Structure 1
Amino acid sequence: MKNYLVLIPARAGSQRLPGKNMRQLGDNPLVGHSIAYALKNDLSDIVVTSNDAAVLDFATQNEVQIIERPDTLAGHEELVVTAIKHALSQLQKKYDVVILLQPTSPLRPKGLLKEAIAIFEREDCDSLMTVSRNEHKLGTISNNRFTPYNYKMGQRSQDLEPLYYENGLLYIFKTELVKQSILLGENNFPLVVDHPFAEIDIDTEADFKKAELYLNFYKDNY
């Protein structure tokens, strides 16, 4: 089995929901859900990378290794791959594979991570991402005119061609990709997740309220 690292990036400075990574959701702050999820899946090599003192303190209290991220790598336009590259460069131990758990997707179905790792090993892929089926009728607007994109007017929703979106629940990728400043390789496996938790991606207060409802309603699946 390959050598896995769980990496949780949790920068400070959210513009739409200040302090969101330490915002309490149920019994844990957002960043704590990702830490707990890794521990539930028997993964002990866990690193939190952040420029937020509160996040780093919380991770330390939970006996998780921390990497203090420079503010220059934590701007709202900074790509997450730069934080990952920095974190890997600071670790003495070398890893074959990174599992990326983003705090903004705090709710993940039971068994998903073990299933993802098993597929990653079996398929011998460069990377794996979780996706979900899009059920919406999409279109474009130009000159106040709506043009269907993935359907024809009058077509039933159940007859739409299957399209999928990146839900952000988790990513798995070889560390050699990070050296190329990419996370998803050409041999990338899309793991389809059909679960309401895939709808949760917290950027706003409304997103957070939705996560609270889902956590309470689907607590047996968490």
Structure 2
Amino acid sequence: MKTIAIIPARGKSKRLPNKNTKLLGGVPLLIHSINYAKQHNFIDAIYVSTNDENIRKIALNCGVQVIDRPEGLSGDLEPTVSALKHVLESIDCDVENVVLLQPTNPLRPKDLLKDAFQTFVEKDFDSLFTVTRSYEKLGKIENSCFKSFNYAIGQRSQDLEPLYYENGLLYITKAKHILKNVIITEKAYPFEVDHVFAKVDIDTQEDFDYAEFLFHKSRTSSSGL
């Protein structure tokens, strides 16, 4: 086996209870990432890592494999890489590449993974992650004074020095690095995404409401957003 997708979906989220099974467009959040992975024939298997029985049942009903995650790897402060590493250590097959799809990023451009994976393979990167340019004017407050970080006061946003944020839409990493507790390697390739879906990362009810708005808009828009 060469390339697998892993979807880490633990239970007992605090800010948005039952987040990963909450219905988005009538479908549990988790399933959006499962269905997205299924659309790509270069993914040889899909694994859901969870500590939750309801999530486990949903994943199995979708025909994907489930790895029961120990509670010790399911805490709020536990890094995602520990769940990925646990999956690799739990399956009995050779894996070269891991595609990480987080259920909290349920909306993705149709061709994003295909294009990103093609770049990853052709350029032989150790890892790849998606980024989006920010046009925010950022600064910090010190001693009740605002100090701009990336712009001069009065500067137009379109003239800002290009800065990017990690949007979480997807990650691709060679399995050997995940086994060393690394998802984004030192020379990871930042794959730029200019799409409204890059602004969706669900942690709160407000995030979910925004995702729901975009989901329904994408279904009614002729451009598909």
Deviation of 1:44 after TM superposition, in Å, equals 4.3
Q: Distance in 2 between matches of 1:221 and 1:44?
A: 28
Deviation of 1:27 after TM superposition, in Å, equals 3.3
Secondary structure, aligned partner of 1:221: coil
Matched-pair contact (CA < 8 Å) for 1:130–1:193: yes
Secondary structure, aligned partner of 1:21: helix
- Superimposed CA distance per residue, residues 45-90 of structure 1 (whole angstroms, 9 cap, x where no aligned partner): 0000000111110111111000000111000100011111111110
Aligned to 2:224: 221
Aligned to 2:79: 79
Secondary structure, aligned partner of 1:167: strand
Deviation of 1:218 after TM superposition, in Å, equals 1.6
- Superimposed CA distance per residue, residues 9-65 of structure 1 (whole angstroms, 9 cap, x where no aligned partner): 001121100100000001311100000001122334000000011111011111100
TM norm structure 2? 0.95
Aligned to 1:164: 164
Secondary structure, aligned partner of 1:169: strand
Matched-pair contact (CA < 8 Å) for 1:13–1:76: no
Gaps of 5+ in 2: none
RMSD of aligned alpha carbons: 1.2
Q: Distance in 2 between matches of 1:83 and 1:121?
A: 24
Q: Extract structure 1 runs of 4+ deviating beyond 6 A.
A: none
**Alignment map for 1:139-150 (pairs within 5 Å):** 139-150=139-150
Matched-pair contact (CA < 8 Å) for 1:48–1:65: yes
Aligned to 2:4: 5
- Superimposed CA distance per residue, residues 118-147 of structure 1 (whole angstroms, 9 cap, x where no aligned partner): 000111000000000101000011111100
Aligned to 1:186: 186
Aligned to 1:127: 127
Secondary structure, aligned partner of 2:155: coil
Gaps of 5+ in 1: none
Q: 1:17 aligned to 2:16?
A: yes
